[in-house]
Amino acid sequence: MRKIGIVGSGPTGIYTIAALIAKAAPIEITLFEQGDRAGVGMPYDDDSNTRLMLANIASIEIPPIGQTYLEWLRSQSADWLRRYGVDKDTLHDRQFLPRLLLGQYFRDQLLWLVEQGQAHGIAINIRENCRVSDLEARADGVALWTDADEVPVIFDWVAIATGHVWPDADEATRAYFPSPWSGLVDAPIPPSRIGIMGTSLSAIDAAMAVVSQHGSFVENDAETVTFACDKASAGLSITLMSRTGILPEADFYCPIPYEPLAHATADAIAAEIDAGSDGLLGRCFALFVQEIMLADPWWAARISLNERTADDFADAYFADRIAHDPFRWAQFNLSEVEHNKRNRITVAWRYAILRMHEVFQDIVPALDEEDRDRFDSGLSRVFMDNYAAIPSQSIRRMLALHRAGILTLLELGSDYDKNITDSGTTISVGETEHQFDIFIDARGQKPLETKDLPFPRLRDQLLAAGLDIPSVCEDYSLYAPANARGRIALGALPYLLHDQPFVQGITAGAEIGTRMADMTSTSPSRRRRMLAPVF
């Protein structure tokens, strides 16, 4: 029986197993998890989350495995769900719930897959507390080393599904956390001046991790949230900061599955890519304009869309938020979104942008250097802001902290300085200095390169092949070295961000996992478009 090793047991690894079982081919699967609970995944485990941290994906969007997320939730006891602040009687498929629950769901689905595999003659071995320390592509297979084995284990295939990569907790100090997932949840945070770099859901989650030590939210109903601060924590202040000084908007109602596009279709974008890189961004932006004008001609006229370019569309998109107080705009946007959800109203231009972000991602590797810079500073920001809209309850809690006098927002602009010391951090904006006793960098996952791979032998093989950034085939197997092609698949998101800047979340993990499983039943597929390193 041929063997595949899967490194990482989060959602991407689990969807890989599901796809392998669906193929019903005899195979032995070994799943490696360096933690003590396979299937949970770092974004959803107890070590990295509190019950206040919400997943920004709902059951309706999650590709089901054994059962849908909603079906699994409804199979749990009301008392158990209540521990997470969830009312069983009000569950629905568009609800945003604590990340910790999602981790439990995926672990249960993994255990169910083990049973299904056994029923189909597929052996699935789960090795917990087992860190994979190295990989090497060989002519006769893939050698895999672990901390627990004296000699390497040989597999026919290996799928790398290690997920996000954050700085280790030992890189944090009492005054500085390089990410919200670098020991923040377990660290005692005194009621002091807290600075958080970023304004996305990750930054808001960092704020939740802090305030959970200093009080509690009172959520009397779905619309009213207040924060009761402990008397001993009166000195607590939290400042979110970003270059623009704007806040994310609330997740909006729209039809799911997505309705088809009319102009900026996958075929139309592919045709523009095939026509060459010269002027590619402009040609694709013309399709973008046509799509929005068809979907929402009133909004298109309001922002003079027919006069916009790929360079200044972002200015029109963000104009309302920039022109208003950020917290007042957040309250206005929240009210609008909740009204639309109750009445199932879709804001057509928002929905059009949401549906276009995936097809526009395909042009990124084909853009020349100038157009890539234009895309990153313009349309890319629009797409990311649009699809990264956050749960309404996160907005309510953020507003409650602001009303309590705890949370403020700082606009950094394009020119600021940051000085980190053992005793605190100073942010200088112009002539003004802002002092923070504790600073948290919550700007999210950064793209990683070959030099960052935690597998020394494989890293050396890729560098010897001249690949500073890993290049993958359609099945996500490494294009080089030759021994890795069709044998080692790289589905770890940080290494894919260079040419897939919007790849993120569970739905991407499901697609990648399915493609990595194809590696076991097909010859090496054609190479994905390769992106040169960006410096």
Contact 225, 399 (CB under 8 A): yes
Query: Where would I find the H helices in 10-129?
Result: 11-23, 69-74, 78-82, 99-119
How many Cβ atoms from other residues are within 10 Å of residue 421's Cβ? 11
Mean pLDDT by 10 residues, the chain (535 residues): 96 97 94 95 86 95 96 98 95 97 97 95 96 97 96 97 84 92 93 98 96 93 88 97 97 97 98 97 98 98 98 98 97 97 98 97 96 97 97 97 98 95 96 97 93 97 97 94 96 94 93 96 61 36
Strands 3-7 and 28-32, how do they pair?
A: parallel
How many Cβ atoms from other residues are within 10 Å of residue 70's Cβ? 19
Q: Which two tokens stand for residue 30?
A: 């070994």
Please give the pLDDT value at position 533: 37
Please give the pLDDT value at position 373: 97
Please give the pLDDT value at position 168: 80
Strand partners, 8: none
Q: Which two tokens stand for residue 419?
A: 């000085």
If you ran DSSP here, which 8-state letter would residue 277 be given?
S
Please give the pLDDT value at position 526: 58
CA distance 214 to 270: 52
Cis peptide before 524 (omega within 30 of 0): no
Please give the pLDDT value at position 7: 98
> What residues have CB less than 8 Å from 408, skipping those under 6 apart?
237, 238, 239, 240, 402
Residues 469, 474, 479, CA angle at the centre, nearest 5°?
45
pTM of the full structure = 0.94
Strands 225-229 and 3-7, how do they pair?
A: unpaired
Amino acid at 491: G
CA distance 455 to 448: 14
Amino acid at 459: R
